[in-house]
Amino acid sequence: MLTVNTVGRVFPGGIEALRDTSLRMDETDFIALLGPSGCGKSTLLRLIAGLDQPDSGRLDWDGGAPVPGDIGFVFQDATLLPWSTAEDNVFLPLRLRGMTRAEAMPLVHAALHRVGLAGFETARPRALSGGMRMRVSIARALVTKPRLLLMDEPFAALDEFTRHKLQADLLEVWKQAGCTVVFVTHSIYEAAFLARRIVLMTPRPGKIAAEIASSLQPVAETRLDPAYAALVTEISRAMAAALA
Amino acid sequence: MKWAPALFGLLALALWQAAVWIEHVPVYVLPGPLAIVGAFAADPVGLLTALASTLLVTFAALFVAAVLGGAMAVAMSASRLAQAAIQPWAVALQVTPLPAIAPLIIIWVGDPFVALVVCATIVAFFPLFANTASGLASAPPELDDLFRLYGARRWQTMALLRLPAALPYFLSGLRISGGLALVGAVVAELVAGSGGFASGLAYRILEASFRLEMPRMFAALVLLAIAGIVLNFGLGAVGRMILRRRGVA
Protein backbone atom coordinates (compact mmCIF):
# COMPACT_ATOMS: atom_id res chain seq x y z
CA MET A 1 0.00 0.00 0.00
CA LEU A 2 2.64 2.47 1.09
CA THR A 3 6.40 2.59 1.29
CA VAL A 4 7.95 5.19 3.56
CA ASN A 5 11.33 5.78 1.97
CA THR A 6 14.22 7.20 4.10
CA VAL A 7 12.03 9.98 5.41
CA GLY A 8 13.46 12.73 7.61
CA ARG A 9 11.81 15.65 9.33
CA VAL A 10 13.50 18.52 11.18
CA PHE A 11 11.24 20.98 12.97
CA PRO A 12 11.94 24.72 12.96
CA GLY A 13 14.34 25.23 15.84
CA GLY A 14 16.50 22.33 14.75
CA ILE A 15 14.80 19.43 16.55
CA GLU A 16 15.28 16.36 14.41
CA ALA A 17 12.00 14.49 14.83
CA LEU A 18 12.73 11.74 12.30
CA ARG A 19 15.85 10.50 10.50
CA ASP A 20 16.13 8.03 7.63
CA THR A 21 12.93 6.23 8.44
CA SER A 22 11.78 3.50 6.10
CA LEU A 23 8.73 1.31 6.53
CA ARG A 24 6.62 -0.78 4.21
CA MET A 25 2.88 -1.09 4.88
CA ASP A 26 0.73 -3.69 3.17
CA GLU A 27 -3.01 -4.22 2.84
CA THR A 28 -4.60 -5.40 6.09
CA ASP A 29 -1.43 -4.84 8.12
CA PHE A 30 -1.86 -3.87 11.77
CA ILE A 31 1.28 -2.01 12.71
CA ALA A 32 2.07 -0.56 16.14
CA LEU A 33 4.58 2.28 16.26
CA LEU A 34 5.96 1.85 19.77
CA GLY A 35 8.37 4.06 21.63
CA PRO A 36 8.87 6.67 24.34
CA SER A 37 7.73 10.23 23.81
CA GLY A 38 9.91 12.20 21.43
CA CYS A 39 10.73 9.21 19.23
CA GLY A 40 8.91 10.69 16.23
CA LYS A 41 6.05 8.21 16.09
CA SER A 42 3.35 10.88 15.97
CA THR A 43 5.41 12.84 13.45
CA LEU A 44 5.60 9.76 11.22
CA LEU A 45 1.84 9.33 11.52
CA ARG A 46 1.21 12.96 10.52
CA LEU A 47 3.54 12.59 7.53
CA ILE A 48 1.63 9.53 6.37
CA ALA A 49 -1.66 11.42 6.79
CA GLY A 50 -0.34 14.29 4.69
CA LEU A 51 -0.80 16.72 7.60
CA ASP A 52 2.94 17.44 7.51
CA GLN A 53 5.61 17.20 4.81
CA PRO A 54 8.98 15.42 5.11
CA ASP A 55 12.20 17.40 4.66
CA SER A 56 13.92 14.45 3.03
CA GLY A 57 12.90 11.09 1.59
CA ARG A 58 9.44 10.38 0.25
CA LEU A 59 6.25 8.41 0.58
CA ASP A 60 5.47 6.04 -2.30
CA TRP A 61 1.81 5.07 -2.51
CA ASP A 62 0.88 1.99 -4.52
CA GLY A 63 -1.77 3.08 -7.01
CA GLY A 64 -1.39 6.81 -6.57
CA ALA A 65 -1.61 9.33 -3.75
CA PRO A 66 -4.61 9.01 -1.42
CA VAL A 67 -7.69 11.20 -1.85
CA PRO A 68 -9.76 12.54 1.08
CA GLY A 69 -11.52 9.62 2.72
CA ASP A 70 -8.78 7.10 1.89
CA ILE A 71 -7.19 7.82 5.26
CA GLY A 72 -8.97 7.86 8.60
CA PHE A 73 -7.33 9.51 11.60
CA VAL A 74 -8.10 9.02 15.29
CA PHE A 75 -6.45 11.45 17.69
CA GLN A 76 -5.57 11.00 21.35
CA ASP A 77 -8.65 13.04 22.24
CA ALA A 78 -11.92 12.19 20.56
CA THR A 79 -11.87 15.72 18.98
CA LEU A 80 -15.59 15.74 18.32
CA LEU A 81 -17.58 18.86 17.51
CA PRO A 82 -19.19 19.48 20.92
CA TRP A 83 -22.27 21.15 19.42
CA SER A 84 -22.98 18.21 17.07
CA THR A 85 -24.69 14.92 17.84
CA ALA A 86 -22.82 11.61 17.49
CA GLU A 87 -24.58 11.16 14.16
CA ASP A 88 -23.54 14.59 12.85
CA ASN A 89 -19.97 14.09 14.02
CA VAL A 90 -19.75 10.86 12.04
CA PHE A 91 -21.50 12.55 9.10
CA LEU A 92 -18.79 15.27 8.97
CA PRO A 93 -16.25 13.56 6.64
CA LEU A 94 -19.04 12.70 4.18
CA ARG A 95 -20.53 16.17 4.46
CA LEU A 96 -17.15 17.74 3.64
CA ARG A 97 -17.04 15.80 0.39
CA GLY A 98 -20.49 17.07 -0.55
CA MET A 99 -22.70 14.11 0.33
CA THR A 100 -26.25 14.96 1.41
CA ARG A 101 -27.60 13.93 4.78
CA ALA A 102 -30.07 11.51 3.26
CA GLU A 103 -27.35 9.79 1.24
CA ALA A 104 -24.98 9.64 4.20
CA MET A 105 -27.24 8.48 7.02
CA PRO A 106 -27.24 4.74 6.16
CA LEU A 107 -23.41 4.81 6.15
CA VAL A 108 -23.31 6.89 9.35
CA HIS A 109 -25.64 4.52 11.20
CA ALA A 110 -23.70 1.49 9.97
CA ALA A 111 -20.46 3.03 11.28
CA LEU A 112 -22.01 3.84 14.67
CA HIS A 113 -23.44 0.33 14.84
CA ARG A 114 -20.05 -1.16 14.06
CA VAL A 115 -18.46 0.56 17.06
CA GLY A 116 -21.32 -0.47 19.34
CA LEU A 117 -23.10 2.88 19.53
CA ALA A 118 -26.46 1.98 17.97
CA GLY A 119 -29.06 3.93 19.95
CA PHE A 120 -26.74 6.87 20.69
CA GLU A 121 -27.13 8.59 17.31
CA THR A 122 -28.58 11.81 18.68
CA ALA A 123 -26.46 12.05 21.85
CA ARG A 124 -24.15 15.03 22.15
CA PRO A 125 -20.51 14.48 23.20
CA ARG A 126 -21.16 15.97 26.64
CA ALA A 127 -23.66 13.22 27.35
CA LEU A 128 -21.21 10.44 26.42
CA SER A 129 -18.44 8.84 28.49
CA GLY A 130 -14.80 9.14 27.42
CA GLY A 131 -14.87 5.62 25.96
CA MET A 132 -18.05 6.30 24.03
CA ARG A 133 -16.67 9.56 22.67
CA MET A 134 -13.64 7.64 21.41
CA ARG A 135 -16.02 5.15 19.75
CA VAL A 136 -17.72 8.03 17.93
CA SER A 137 -14.28 9.21 16.84
CA ILE A 138 -13.48 5.73 15.48
CA ALA A 139 -16.86 5.56 13.70
CA ARG A 140 -16.08 8.94 12.11
CA ALA A 141 -12.73 7.59 10.87
CA LEU A 142 -14.39 4.45 9.49
CA VAL A 143 -17.37 6.06 7.77
CA THR A 144 -15.46 6.85 4.56
CA LYS A 145 -14.31 3.20 4.35
CA PRO A 146 -10.63 4.21 4.51
CA ARG A 147 -7.85 2.05 3.13
CA LEU A 148 -5.62 3.21 5.95
CA LEU A 149 -6.61 3.94 9.53
CA LEU A 150 -4.11 6.02 11.52
CA MET A 151 -4.48 6.13 15.30
CA ASP A 152 -2.40 8.37 17.56
CA GLU A 153 -2.49 6.96 21.13
CA PRO A 154 -6.29 6.87 20.96
CA PHE A 155 -6.81 4.97 24.21
CA ALA A 156 -4.07 6.59 26.32
CA ALA A 157 -6.49 8.82 28.24
CA LEU A 158 -9.01 6.06 29.06
CA ASP A 159 -9.21 3.93 32.19
CA GLU A 160 -7.82 0.42 31.91
CA PHE A 161 -11.16 -1.43 31.77
CA THR A 162 -12.51 0.84 29.03
CA ARG A 163 -9.19 0.58 27.23
CA HIS A 164 -9.23 -3.24 27.22
CA LYS A 165 -12.76 -3.29 25.89
CA LEU A 166 -11.97 -0.77 23.15
CA GLN A 167 -8.79 -2.64 22.20
CA ALA A 168 -10.70 -5.90 21.79
CA ASP A 169 -13.45 -4.13 19.83
CA LEU A 170 -10.86 -2.44 17.61
CA LEU A 171 -9.52 -5.86 16.60
CA GLU A 172 -13.05 -6.87 15.53
CA VAL A 173 -13.50 -3.62 13.60
CA TRP A 174 -10.14 -4.12 11.88
CA LYS A 175 -10.97 -7.69 10.86
CA GLN A 176 -14.34 -6.62 9.45
CA ALA A 177 -13.23 -3.41 7.78
CA GLY A 178 -10.19 -5.01 6.20
CA CYS A 179 -8.16 -1.81 6.25
CA THR A 180 -4.56 -1.22 7.23
CA VAL A 181 -4.10 0.16 10.74
CA VAL A 182 -1.09 2.11 11.97
CA PHE A 183 -1.40 2.56 15.71
CA VAL A 184 0.90 4.85 17.70
CA THR A 185 1.34 3.89 21.35
CA HIS A 186 3.80 4.10 24.21
CA SER A 187 2.35 1.00 25.86
CA ILE A 188 4.18 -2.26 25.26
CA TYR A 189 1.10 -4.21 26.43
CA GLU A 190 -1.15 -2.40 23.98
CA ALA A 191 1.26 -2.91 21.07
CA ALA A 192 1.66 -6.61 21.88
CA PHE A 193 -2.07 -7.19 22.18
CA LEU A 194 -3.17 -5.35 19.05
CA ALA A 195 -0.51 -5.39 16.39
CA ARG A 196 0.65 -7.94 13.88
CA ARG A 197 3.88 -5.97 13.45
CA ILE A 198 5.43 -4.04 16.32
CA VAL A 199 7.82 -1.34 15.13
CA LEU A 200 10.14 -0.05 17.86
CA MET A 201 11.24 3.57 17.64
CA THR A 202 13.91 5.45 19.60
CA PRO A 203 14.27 9.16 20.24
CA ARG A 204 16.82 11.91 19.44
CA PRO A 205 16.69 11.67 16.53
CA GLY A 206 13.53 9.63 16.04
CA LYS A 207 14.16 6.49 14.05
CA ILE A 208 13.10 2.88 13.71
CA ALA A 209 15.22 0.58 15.87
CA ALA A 210 13.69 -2.85 15.31
CA GLU A 211 10.59 -4.70 14.25
CA ILE A 212 8.96 -7.68 15.91
CA ALA A 213 6.29 -9.85 14.29
CA SER A 214 3.41 -11.19 16.34
CA SER A 215 1.75 -14.55 15.73
CA LEU A 216 -0.93 -14.08 18.41
CA GLN A 217 -4.58 -14.51 17.54
CA PRO A 218 -6.27 -11.11 17.16
CA VAL A 219 -9.00 -11.91 19.70
CA ALA A 220 -9.87 -10.67 23.20
CA GLU A 221 -8.83 -13.99 24.85
CA THR A 222 -5.24 -13.43 23.74
CA ARG A 223 -4.70 -11.31 26.84
CA LEU A 224 -4.82 -14.50 28.93
CA ASP A 225 -2.54 -16.45 26.59
CA PRO A 226 0.98 -17.17 27.98
CA ALA A 227 2.27 -16.40 24.47
CA TYR A 228 1.04 -12.83 24.97
CA ALA A 229 3.15 -12.51 28.13
CA ALA A 230 6.10 -13.95 26.22
CA LEU A 231 5.64 -11.39 23.45
CA VAL A 232 5.51 -8.56 26.01
CA THR A 233 8.79 -9.84 27.43
CA GLU A 234 10.35 -10.05 23.99
CA ILE A 235 9.32 -6.49 23.12
CA SER A 236 10.50 -5.19 26.50
CA ARG A 237 13.94 -6.76 25.97
CA ALA A 238 14.20 -5.39 22.44
CA MET A 239 13.10 -1.93 23.58
CA ALA A 240 15.62 -1.93 26.43
CA ALA A 241 18.37 -2.99 24.02
CA ALA A 242 17.34 -0.27 21.53
CA LEU A 243 17.33 2.44 24.18
CA ALA A 244 20.63 1.33 25.77
CA MET B 1 -29.85 32.58 50.35
CA LYS B 2 -31.93 33.55 47.34
CA TRP B 3 -33.37 36.58 49.12
CA ALA B 4 -30.05 37.77 50.54
CA PRO B 5 -29.37 40.45 47.87
CA ALA B 6 -32.91 41.86 48.17
CA LEU B 7 -32.82 41.90 51.97
CA PHE B 8 -29.41 43.55 51.97
CA GLY B 9 -30.65 46.16 49.51
CA LEU B 10 -33.75 46.90 51.60
CA LEU B 11 -31.63 47.22 54.74
CA ALA B 12 -29.29 49.66 52.99
CA LEU B 13 -32.24 51.71 51.73
CA ALA B 14 -33.77 51.84 55.22
CA LEU B 15 -30.47 53.00 56.74
CA TRP B 16 -30.12 55.62 53.99
CA GLN B 17 -33.64 56.95 54.63
CA ALA B 18 -33.07 56.95 58.39
CA ALA B 19 -29.77 58.82 58.05
CA VAL B 20 -31.38 61.48 55.83
CA TRP B 21 -34.24 61.93 58.35
CA ILE B 22 -32.11 61.94 61.50
CA GLU B 23 -29.41 64.24 60.14
CA HIS B 24 -31.89 66.53 58.32
CA VAL B 25 -29.81 66.34 55.15
CA PRO B 26 -31.15 68.92 52.67
CA VAL B 27 -32.80 67.28 49.66
CA TYR B 28 -30.57 69.21 47.20
CA VAL B 29 -27.52 67.52 48.77
CA LEU B 30 -28.80 63.99 49.22
CA PRO B 31 -32.42 62.95 48.78
CA GLY B 32 -33.69 59.90 50.64
CA PRO B 33 -35.12 56.88 48.81
CA LEU B 34 -38.69 58.04 49.47
CA ALA B 35 -38.02 61.42 47.85
CA ILE B 36 -36.53 59.63 44.84
CA VAL B 37 -39.57 57.39 44.49
CA GLY B 38 -41.69 60.53 44.81
CA ALA B 39 -39.77 62.23 42.01
CA PHE B 40 -40.37 59.20 39.77
CA ALA B 41 -44.08 59.13 40.67
CA ALA B 42 -44.35 62.83 39.79
CA ASP B 43 -43.37 62.24 36.15
CA PRO B 44 -43.23 58.54 35.26
CA VAL B 45 -44.15 59.09 31.60
CA GLY B 46 -41.40 61.67 31.03
CA LEU B 47 -38.71 59.54 32.67
CA LEU B 48 -39.79 56.28 31.06
CA THR B 49 -40.02 57.92 27.62
CA ALA B 50 -36.48 59.19 28.12
CA LEU B 51 -35.39 55.68 29.17
CA ALA B 52 -37.01 54.22 26.06
CA SER B 53 -35.12 56.70 23.93
CA THR B 54 -31.80 55.74 25.59
CA LEU B 55 -32.57 52.03 25.25
CA LEU B 56 -33.41 52.47 21.57
CA VAL B 57 -29.95 53.96 21.02
CA THR B 58 -28.43 51.17 23.14
CA PHE B 59 -30.04 48.33 21.21
CA ALA B 60 -29.39 49.92 17.82
CA ALA B 61 -25.73 50.34 18.76
CA LEU B 62 -25.51 46.80 20.14
CA PHE B 63 -26.97 45.44 16.92
CA VAL B 64 -24.59 47.44 14.71
CA ALA B 65 -21.62 46.51 16.93
CA ALA B 66 -22.57 42.83 16.79
CA VAL B 67 -22.83 42.84 13.00
CA LEU B 68 -19.68 44.92 12.45
CA GLY B 69 -17.61 43.25 15.19
CA GLY B 70 -18.64 39.77 14.07
CA ALA B 71 -18.06 40.50 10.38
CA MET B 72 -14.66 42.09 10.94
CA ALA B 73 -13.56 39.22 13.18
CA VAL B 74 -14.58 36.75 10.47
CA ALA B 75 -12.73 38.78 7.83
CA MET B 76 -9.65 38.81 10.06
CA SER B 77 -9.85 35.08 10.67
CA ALA B 78 -10.19 34.41 6.94
CA SER B 79 -7.28 36.54 5.78
CA ARG B 80 -3.93 37.54 7.23
CA LEU B 81 -4.00 40.71 5.16
CA ALA B 82 -7.32 41.71 6.72
CA GLN B 83 -5.90 40.90 10.15
CA ALA B 84 -2.88 43.14 9.58
CA ALA B 85 -5.11 45.89 8.22
CA ILE B 86 -7.86 45.79 10.83
CA GLN B 87 -6.26 44.91 14.16
CA PRO B 88 -4.38 48.17 14.91
CA TRP B 89 -7.40 50.29 14.00
CA ALA B 90 -9.69 48.23 16.18
CA VAL B 91 -7.33 48.78 19.11
CA ALA B 92 -7.04 52.49 18.30
CA LEU B 93 -10.82 52.72 18.33
CA GLN B 94 -10.95 50.97 21.68
CA VAL B 95 -8.43 53.19 23.47
CA THR B 96 -9.86 56.48 22.18
CA PRO B 97 -12.04 57.96 24.95
CA LEU B 98 -15.58 58.50 23.70
CA PRO B 99 -16.09 61.92 25.36
CA ALA B 100 -13.11 63.15 23.33
CA ILE B 101 -14.56 62.22 19.96
CA ALA B 102 -18.30 62.41 20.65
CA PRO B 103 -18.51 66.20 19.95
CA LEU B 104 -16.90 65.67 16.54
CA ILE B 105 -19.21 62.81 15.67
CA ILE B 106 -22.25 64.80 16.73
CA ILE B 107 -21.12 67.71 14.53
CA TRP B 108 -20.24 65.51 11.55
CA VAL B 109 -23.29 63.26 11.65
CA GLY B 110 -26.27 65.47 11.04
CA ASP B 111 -29.00 63.26 12.49
CA PRO B 112 -28.79 63.25 16.33
CA PHE B 113 -30.14 59.72 16.71
CA VAL B 114 -27.61 58.35 14.23
CA ALA B 115 -24.84 60.31 15.96
CA LEU B 116 -25.75 58.76 19.32
CA VAL B 117 -25.84 55.29 17.81
CA VAL B 118 -22.42 55.82 16.22
CA CYS B 119 -20.96 56.91 19.57
CA ALA B 120 -22.45 53.96 21.48
CA THR B 121 -21.34 51.57 18.73
CA ILE B 122 -17.73 52.72 19.09
CA VAL B 123 -17.82 51.73 22.77
CA ALA B 124 -19.70 48.46 22.24
CA PHE B 125 -17.67 47.32 19.24
CA PHE B 126 -14.44 46.08 20.79
CA PRO B 127 -15.56 43.27 23.14
CA LEU B 128 -17.72 41.79 20.39
CA PHE B 129 -14.90 42.05 17.88
CA ALA B 130 -12.15 40.75 20.17
CA ASN B 131 -14.25 37.95 21.67
CA THR B 132 -15.44 36.72 18.30
CA ALA B 133 -11.88 36.85 16.97
CA SER B 134 -10.55 34.68 19.79
CA GLY B 135 -13.57 32.39 19.48
CA LEU B 136 -12.86 31.85 15.80
CA ALA B 137 -9.33 30.76 16.70
CA SER B 138 -10.42 28.62 19.66
CA ALA B 139 -11.03 25.29 17.92
CA PRO B 140 -8.39 22.72 18.92
CA PRO B 141 -5.66 22.23 16.28
CA GLU B 142 -6.62 18.55 15.94
CA LEU B 143 -10.00 19.58 14.56
CA ASP B 144 -8.23 21.84 12.07
CA ASP B 145 -6.13 18.81 11.07
CA LEU B 146 -9.27 16.72 10.72
CA PHE B 147 -10.87 19.24 8.37
CA ARG B 148 -7.64 19.39 6.32
CA LEU B 149 -7.44 15.60 6.20
CA TYR B 150 -10.89 15.45 4.62
CA GLY B 151 -10.05 18.17 2.12
CA ALA B 152 -12.40 20.78 3.62
CA ARG B 153 -12.67 24.04 1.73
CA ARG B 154 -12.06 27.23 3.63
CA TRP B 155 -15.71 28.20 3.73
CA GLN B 156 -16.55 24.73 5.05
CA THR B 157 -14.05 25.06 7.87
CA MET B 158 -15.48 28.51 8.62
CA ALA B 159 -19.11 27.40 8.57
CA LEU B 160 -18.78 24.03 10.27
CA LEU B 161 -15.90 24.63 12.70
CA ARG B 162 -14.86 28.25 13.31
CA LEU B 163 -18.26 29.95 13.50
CA PRO B 164 -19.85 27.38 15.82
CA ALA B 165 -16.71 27.42 18.00
CA ALA B 166 -16.92 31.22 18.19
CA LEU B 167 -20.57 31.35 19.24
CA PRO B 168 -20.04 31.13 23.04
CA TYR B 169 -17.34 33.81 22.80
CA PHE B 170 -19.59 36.03 20.71
CA LEU B 171 -22.41 35.64 23.23
CA SER B 172 -20.25 36.59 26.19
CA GLY B 173 -18.98 39.54 24.14
CA LEU B 174 -22.60 40.52 23.56
CA ARG B 175 -23.24 40.54 27.31
CA ILE B 176 -20.23 42.78 27.99
CA SER B 177 -21.06 45.05 25.07
CA GLY B 178 -24.69 45.40 26.17
CA GLY B 179 -23.62 47.27 29.29
CA LEU B 180 -21.01 49.23 27.36
CA ALA B 181 -23.54 50.27 24.70
CA LEU B 182 -25.73 51.69 27.46
CA VAL B 183 -22.76 53.57 28.95
CA GLY B 184 -21.82 54.80 25.47
CA ALA B 185 -25.37 55.96 24.79
CA VAL B 186 -25.46 57.86 28.09
CA VAL B 187 -22.06 59.51 27.53
CA ALA B 188 -23.06 60.53 24.01
CA GLU B 189 -26.36 61.89 25.28
CA LEU B 190 -24.55 63.97 27.89
CA VAL B 191 -22.34 65.47 25.20
CA ALA B 192 -25.26 65.98 22.81
CA GLY B 193 -27.49 67.22 25.63
CA SER B 194 -25.10 69.99 26.54
CA GLY B 195 -25.35 70.93 22.87
CA GLY B 196 -29.12 71.24 23.16
CA PHE B 197 -30.30 67.83 21.92
CA ALA B 198 -33.10 67.06 24.37
CA SER B 199 -33.77 63.35 24.45
CA GLY B 200 -32.77 60.36 26.51
CA LEU B 201 -32.27 59.73 30.19
CA ALA B 202 -28.85 61.36 30.34
CA TYR B 203 -30.37 64.62 29.19
CA ARG B 204 -32.95 64.36 32.00
CA ILE B 205 -30.08 63.89 34.47
CA LEU B 206 -28.28 66.91 33.03
CA GLU B 207 -31.46 68.98 33.09
CA ALA B 208 -32.30 67.98 36.67
CA SER B 209 -28.80 68.80 37.86
CA PHE B 210 -29.02 72.28 36.32
CA ARG B 211 -32.28 72.83 38.20
CA LEU B 212 -30.92 71.26 41.42
CA GLU B 213 -33.76 68.69 41.25
CA MET B 214 -31.71 66.05 43.01
CA PRO B 215 -34.54 63.53 43.60
CA ARG B 216 -35.38 63.53 39.88
CA MET B 217 -31.71 63.19 39.01
CA PHE B 218 -31.44 60.18 41.32
CA ALA B 219 -34.65 58.70 39.92
CA ALA B 220 -33.16 58.86 36.42
CA LEU B 221 -29.92 57.32 37.72
CA VAL B 222 -31.82 54.46 39.38
CA LEU B 223 -33.70 53.80 36.14
CA LEU B 224 -30.38 53.67 34.27
CA ALA B 225 -28.91 51.27 36.83
CA ILE B 226 -31.95 49.00 36.64
CA ALA B 227 -31.85 49.08 32.84
CA GLY B 228 -28.16 48.13 32.92
CA ILE B 229 -28.74 45.24 35.30
CA VAL B 230 -31.72 43.90 33.33
CA LEU B 231 -29.74 44.22 30.10
CA ASN B 232 -26.77 42.35 31.54
CA PHE B 233 -28.80 39.51 33.06
CA GLY B 234 -31.13 39.38 30.06
CA LEU B 235 -28.29 39.00 27.57
CA GLY B 236 -26.66 36.44 29.87
CA ALA B 237 -29.87 34.41 30.04
CA VAL B 238 -30.38 34.56 26.27
CA GLY B 239 -26.79 33.39 25.74
CA ARG B 240 -27.16 30.49 28.17
CA MET B 241 -30.42 29.45 26.54
CA ILE B 242 -28.85 29.40 23.07
CA LEU B 243 -25.85 27.40 24.26
CA ARG B 244 -28.04 24.94 26.14
CA ARG B 245 -30.12 24.36 23.03
CA ARG B 246 -26.91 23.57 21.16
CA GLY B 247 -25.88 21.14 23.87
CA VAL B 248 -22.63 22.89 24.75
CA ALA B 249 -23.59 24.41 28.11
Q: Tell me the pLDDT tens digit for each residue of B102-157.
A: 889 988 988 889 999 999 999 999 999 999 999 999 989 999 999 999 999 999 99
Rounded CA gap, B183 and B53, in Å? 14
Q: In Å, how far is A3's CA from the nearest CA of chain B?
A: 20
Which of B148, B151, B165, B149 is CA-nearest to residue B77?
A: B165
Residue B196, pLDDT score: 64
Q: Tell me the pLDDT tens digit for each residue of A140-195.
A: 999 999 999 999 999 998 999 999 999 999 999 999 888 999 999 999 999 999 99
Q: Residue A73: which of B149, B161, B247 has the nearest Cβ?
A: B149
Q: Which amino acid is at A113?
A: H
- Structural domains in chain B, CATH included, are 42-245 (1.10.3720.10)
- The answer for B 154-173 residues in CB contact with A (under 8 A) is 156, 160-161, 164, 167
Mean pLDDT of chain A, nearest integer: 93
- Selected residue with higher pLDDT from A203 and A74: A74
Q: Which residues contact A173 (CB under 8 A, 6 or more apart)?
A: A114, A115, A138, A142
N-term to C-term CA, chain A: 33
Could you tell me where the beta strands, DSSP code E, fall in chain A?
Answer: 2-10, 16-25, 30-34, 56-61, 71-74, 148-152, 180-185, 197-202, 207-213
ipTM associated with this complex:
0.92
Query: Is the predicted pLDDT of residue B197 greater than 80, yes or no?
Result: no
Mean pLDDT of chain B, nearest integer: 91
Residue B191, pLDDT score: 87
Percent of chain B with pLDDT over 90: 70
- CA-based Rg of chain A, rounded to a whole angstrom? 18
Q: Which amino acid is at B123?
A: V
- With contact defined as beta carbons under 8 Å apart, do A197 and A32 qualify? yes
- The answer for A 83-142 residues in CB contact with B (under 8 A) is 83, 85, 92-93, 95-97, 124, 126-127
Residue B164 preceded by cis peptide, ω within 30: no
Q: Which amino acid is at A231?
A: L
- With contact defined as beta carbons under 8 Å apart, do A242 and A209 qualify? yes
Q: What b-and-e string marks burial along B3-35, b requiring 16 or more CB atoms within 10 Å of the CB?
A: eeeeeeeeeeeeebbeebeeeeeeeeeebbbeb
Query: Is the predicted pLDDT of residue B194 greater than 70, yes or no?
Result: no
Q: What are phi and psi of B30, to 5 degrees?
A: -145, 110
- With contact defined as beta carbons under 8 Å apart, do A47 and A9 qualify? yes
Rounded CA gap, B195 and B188, in Å? 11
Residue A179, pLDDT score: 92
Rounded CA gap, B214 and B208, in Å? 7
Residue B175, pLDDT score: 95
Q: Tell me the pLDDT tens digit for each residue of A3-57.
A: 999 999 999 888 889 999 999 999 999 999 999 988 899 999 999 999 999 999 9
Q: Residue A83: which of B140, B145, B247 has the nearest Cβ?
A: B247
- A93 vs B164: CB contact, 8 Å cut-off? no
Residue B195, pLDDT score: 64
Rounded CA gap, B198 and A75, in Å? 62
Residue B222, pLDDT score: 93
Query: Is the predicted pLDDT of residue B193 greater than 80, yes or no?
Result: no
What's the average model confidence in pLDDT over A88-99?
95
- With contact defined as beta carbons under 8 Å apart, do A139 and A151 qualify? no
Q: In Å, how far is B73's CA from the nearest CA of chain A?
A: 21
**Residue from A42, A80, A83, A152 to probe the interface with B (highest B Cβ count within 10 Å):** A83
- CA-based Rg of chain B, rounded to a whole angstrom? 22
Maximal CA-CA distance, chain A? 56
A148-152 vs A180-185, strand pairing mode: parallel
Rounded CA gap, B214 and B72, in Å? 44
- Selected residue with higher pLDDT from A121 and A14: A121
Rounded CA gap, A214 and A141, in Å? 25
CA B87 to chain centre: 22
Query: Is the predicted pLDDT of residue B247 greater than 90, yes or no?
Result: no
Assign B29 a pLDDT band (cuts: 50, 70, 90).
confident
Q: Residue B164: which of A75, A83, A144 has the nearest Cβ?
A: A83
Pick left, alpha or beta for residue B64 (phi over 0 → left; psi -120 to 50 → alpha; otherwise beta). alpha
Rounded CA gap, A20 and A8, in Å? 5
Residue B173, pLDDT score: 96
What's the average model confidence in pLDDT over B30-55?
93
